[in-house]
Every structure is written in C-alpha cells, then in structure tokens.
Amino acid sequence: MNYPYKNLENFTLPSLLNRSVSMYGNKSVLSKVGESPMLYSELGEKVQQMVKLLQENGISQGDKVVLLSENMPNWGVVYFSVTYIGAVIVPVLPDFHPSDVHHILRHSEAKAVFVSEKHLATIEESNGSNIRFVVNLDNLEIIDETRNKSHFADLAKKTKEMAQKISNSGSKAVKEDDLAALIYTSGTTGHSKGVMLSHKNLVTNALSTHCILEIHNEDIFLSILPLAHTYECTVGLLVPILHGASVVYIDKTPTPSVLLKAFGIVRPTMMLSVPLIIEKIYKNKVLPKFNGSLLMRILYKIPFVRRKLNKIAGKKLIETFGGRLKFFGIGGAPLSPFVEKFLIEAEFPYTIGYGLTETAPLLAGTNINLSPKFKSTGPAFYGVELKIKDPNPINGEGEIIAKSPSVMLGYYKDKEKTAEVMEDGWFLTGDLGYIDDEGFLFIKGRSKNVIISSDGKNIYPEQLESVINQNEAVLDSLVMEQNGKLIARIHLDYELMDEKFHANKNTDSKVSEDIIKFLEEMRIEVNEQVATSSKMLKFVEQIEPFVKTPTKKIKRYLYVE
C-alpha cells in the first residue's frame, strides 16, 4: 500500500519511532500540563534504557507486558520500549475493576507489569504466578521486592536466571505481522475479549489519517481520553509522534474546571473526545444562553436567526478551547444529532470517526477541510474497503463489514469467536448502516440492540435515545423492550430537577410526584417526534447513573433482559 511517508522502513512501531526521533530530535513530544516537555531525542534515549531493563530482566520477543496507569509521558515510553523488542504490550484501562485486572494478568500470561503508584495495590493483590518483576511507571524503576506480596519474593532469582539466558541473544528483528498489542475490551455486551493487534495494524491505521487531516510538527494535542483505549493510543499518541507533534496530558480527572484551566495553559490545536464531553459543553454552556429568556427561545426557533446565533457561539467556543483549535475528533460512541447540528452551524472544526478496537481502530471519517454530512461518519479511510452485507433492497441498510490492513489478527486464545467475526477476509463489525452514492457511511445502530416491532420494522434504540437526550434535563437514557412494549429508563439532571421543582421548599414525595409527571409529559412530547412503531409506553426514572464503558457507552446488558 502506497502511504505518502518517507524514511519509514516498514510498518512497525520501532520504525515509526526511529524515524520521528531522527527527524524531530529537538522538538517537544510528551508532557503534563504546566511541566517541562520531554524531547523526541529524550524519548529515544528513554526507550533504549527501558529496552535494556526489559532484556536484562528476561523479557524477550512475544512476552506479554501489562501497562496499568493513568495517562502520563512514561506511558508512551513503555509502550514503545516493549514493542521495540518484539514483546507484546497489554494496556489496561485504569478504571477496570481489580478482578478484571487480575483476570487479564492470568489470561495474558504477563511476565512483567508497569504500574503507576495509584494502581500498585491492585497488582500487589494479584496472584499472577507468571509475573517476574514490577516497575513503577512514575519513575521507571523496578519496585523493591519488600513492597510486594509473597508471590514476588523470588523476583531476584528469576530475574538473574532469565538475564543469563538472554544476555547474548539480543532480540530478533520485529516484523510487520508480529503481535504488538493485546487489548482487552470493555464492551456493551458484557464479554471482555483480548484483541490482538499487529505492528502493521497499528502503524497503517496511524498512517491512514493523512486522508482526513494535515498535521504539522508545531501542532499540540491535549490528551483527555485513556491511552489504554485504542482510539486515544492510535490517534492521540502514534499519529502525533508520526508527524513530530507534541502531546500534553492532564494530571487530574478532566472535570469542566480542570479542562478550562488546561485549555488556557496548553491552547491545543488538536483534541480527541467522546461525544459525551462535547454534548455536556453544549447543554451546560451553550444551550442555557439560548433558553435564558422567552425572547431568546422564540428567536432560537427561527432557522435563520438560530444559524447566526450558533455561528457566534462557535467562535466563543473556540476561544474557550484556547483560541487555536483546528481539529476536534469525536469517536467511540454515536454523537447526538441535535449537538451535531449545532457544531455544523457553529462552524466548529469537528470530525466524526468510526471504527472498533478490532480495526486499530479507524475505518471511516470526514476530511476536516470538507463539509461534513449530517449524521454521517464520512467515507472509508485510505486503504479501507467498506460494504454492506445483505443490504435491505428498500433502504440499503445491513451489517457494515470491512477489509483493511488494520483488521486484527484475532481474539487471543479464542479461535471460535474470531471465526464468528471473520468471513472470506471481511471483518463483520456488528454495526448496521448504509453507504450513500458518494461513499459516505451512515450508522443506524448495533445489530444486537435492534428491536423488531410488532409490524416487523427495525427499531434502533440509539436513535430514540438521541431524541430523548435533546431535553436539557436528561443526562442519559436507555430504550428497551419489555413485554413487547418500548420503555425508556431516564437518568435526569437532579440539580436541574431540584431547582425546577423547588426541592428546598417542597417535600421529597411532592418532588417525586412532579418528576413522574415531568417524565410523562416528556414521553408524550418525544412520541410526537418518532414513528408510530417507535412510540414508547413508559418513561422510568433511573436514579443512579448508568454503568458505562471507557468511551461512555452504556453497558446495555446490565439493564436489558
């Protein structure tokens, strides 16, 4: 495949790193907000130091190494160090439950762990017998064995034995099709799988972003999503390093106040986000200004005036992000249509990307310099083929399937599940949609979530949820089938509810009655906007927040029978 990049010897992570260190040595690469950045030359040196540590402690080609930490510059150092020698990096999302982490340690047969101080206790509680040593990611030093539980007691002995075996062997040259990363998903279906991604999967995916975005070595990415998620790792780490750009990490939970402060300090030119973040900004910062008075509410309903107001709001939004933002990538979950309409009219520099962990991850996206198509994820990326399997003869809808050099090697230790998603070289995504005459992909929903109405029509709960979520009082919703009828669970903004129903003056029972009435009025209003077969029988209050995946999709299996 003819990617337009020079000096890249092959599609491997060591080749990508060596090229960038050579070309951008004195440029900034990784840092935390407000701290001095690591240079590309320093990144190269640190990687070589860690390569030596890994090899001296018995890690060789094909060995699994777990990486459990919040985002920080050393995360990237370890990622490149492990893959540099042909070992396999196993990034673990920091919000995984300890039992899930322990399962990954056992299932992957990891021989080493890099862990931040914050998550060290999780590793100490593990009984993973394969682990030979543990490294503190904050300082890249092997943890003193006295800090660990008894199963680490023979650390020194194992380390010396393995070091003797590999001291003169070195590591074999890394090949494109070698396994580079093992990613354990936390999906909406409840079944965690180990996705095997090769060097070629990851590097070609990073290279393919040139079809939607031009990146320069002066660009600054602000990273707010977990690096252990393939979306952030590929597009938020590999892509900027490929182009000599820099990445800045937030050292705290990205709350609105933390983000606003970071925007002012970093003034990023590029960012990646999940829809929930931009949807919250729109609901909490933009929409209240248009709903503040009766006159504004009336004016905002006039299309011509609304477009003018949204354009003004878009300019102010760019200023909020530091004034230099030219790319805001949205992925990981569907974007609400009412928010996307605002982004289009606000001329906000957003792009929606589509992909899966199994495709490393990107398959489609709109070029930032072209006008987006409303509700579309854009055309296929460079090197990617997309088509619809068994399309409906009336509307062209069917399962989206893909061929790409970034399609995974398979699921780790699970040939059966791998066979279920591969068919004649095509990856079956499990997503339903259609492709228009210009090659733009439109996604309707997950095939496993589709509800068949009594008259045989497909009902996509995600689309109904997007209508419900337009209400400023709704934080989240989940539509499901119950006894042949559609109902929706609604998680409300209780600060807004308390204010609306005067919780400081009224009794709890009175406020509860008002909320039940409010939900019923909302149900009637929503039903007026949807097809007859999609009308909902009942709205149920969901008091506790929904449990979500790292990309903020609701884990539907916990609520749907």
| Residue in the block written with tokens 């050292």 | 251
What is the mean pLDDT of the segment spanning 230-240?
97
Q: Where residue 404 falls among pLDDT bands split at 50, 70, 90?
A: very high
pLDDT at position 155 is: 46
DSSP state of 526: H
- Cα–Cα distance between 386 and 394 in angstroms, integer? 20
pLDDT at position 191 is: 55
Helices 303-320 and 337-345, axial angle in degrees (round to 10): 80
In 3D space, the residue among 96, 117, 118, 116 whose CA is nearest the CA of residue 107 turns out to be: 96
pLDDT at position 561 is: 66
pLDDT above 60: residue 37: yes
Give per-residue pLDDT as tens, 54-73: 999 999 999 999 999 999 99
pLDDT above 50: residue 159: no
Q: Where residue 186 falls among pLDDT bands split at 50, 70, 90?
A: low
Average pLDDT across the chain, whole number: 90
pLDDT above 90: residue 396: yes
Q: Where residue 164 falls among pLDDT bands split at 50, 70, 90?
A: very low
What is the mean pLDDT of the segment spanning 286-297?
85
Beta bridge partners of 422: 427
Using DSSP's 3-state secondary structure scheme, residue 515 falls into helix
Q: Where residue 1 falls among pLDDT bands split at 50, 70, 90?
A: low
Q: Where residue 161 falls among pLDDT bands split at 50, 70, 90?
A: low
pLDDT above 50: residue 47: yes
Domains, in order of start, for the chain? 13-206 (3.40.50.12780), 217-448 (3.40.50.12780), 460-558 (3.30.300.30)
537 close to 486: Cβ distance less than 8 angstroms? yes
Count how many residues are written for the chain: 561
Over pLDDT 90: what percentage of the chain? 70
Using DSSP's 3-state secondary structure scheme, residue 525 falls into helix
What is the mean pLDDT of the segment spanning 423-440?
95
What is the mean pLDDT of the segment spanning 422-427?
96
Q: Where residue 168 falls among pLDDT bands split at 50, 70, 90?
A: very low
pLDDT at position 531 is: 86
pLDDT at position 4 is: 64
DSSP state of 407: S
β 141-142/133-136 pair status: antiparallel
Burial class (CB in 10 A: 0-12, 13-18, 19+), 290: middle
pLDDT at position 521 is: 95
pLDDT at position 160 is: 46
What is the mean pLDDT of the segment spanning 291-311?
89
Give per-residue pLDDT as tens, 123-150: 988 876 689 999 999 999 999 653 444 4
DSSP state of 2: -
- Cα–Cα distance between 452 and 111 in angstroms, integer? 47
pLDDT above 70: residue 246: yes
- Cα–Cα distance between 397 and 374 in angstroms, integer? 17
Across 244-258, 273-287, 429-443, which has the greatest mean pLDDT? Answer: 429-443
224 close to 271: Cβ distance less than 8 angstroms? yes
Q: Which two tokens stand for residue 322?
A: 């530091």
pLDDT above 80: residue 556: yes
Question: Where do the DSSP E strands lie in 1-130?
Answer: 28-32, 38-39, 64-68, 88-92, 112-115
More confident residue, 489 or 289: 489
Q: Where residue 533 falls among pLDDT bands split at 50, 70, 90?
A: confident
Give per-residue pLDDT as tens, 319-336: 999 999 999 999 988 888
Q: Which two tokens stand for residue 252?
A: 């705290």
SS (H, E, C) 300-340: HCCHHHHHHHHHHHHHHHHHHCCCCCCEEEECCCCCCHHHH
DSSP state of 238: I
Cα atoms found within 13 Å of the Cα of residue 411, Cβ hemisphere only = 16
pLDDT above 60: residue 439: yes
Q: Where residue 6 falls among pLDDT bands split at 50, 70, 90?
A: low
pLDDT at position 455 is: 65
DSSP string over 431-481: EEEEE-TTS-EEEEEEGGG-EE-TTS-EE-HHHHHHHHTTSTTEEEEEEEE
pLDDT above 50: residue 260: yes
Give per-residue pLDDT as tens, 341-390: 999 999 999 999 999 999 999 999 999 998 899 999 999 999 999 999 99
Q: Where residue 163 falls among pLDDT bands split at 50, 70, 90?
A: very low
What is the mean pLDDT of the segment spanning 32-51?
97
pLDDT at position 165 is: 45
In 3D space, the residue among 549, 245, 550, 206 whose CA is nearest the CA of residue 360 turns out to be: 206
In 3D space, the residue among 381, 24, 357, 459 whose CA is nearest the CA of residue 207 turns out to be: 381
pLDDT above 70: residue 229: yes
Give per-residue pLDDT as tens, 511-526: 999 999 999 999 999 9
| Residue in the block written with tokens 């494109």 | 176
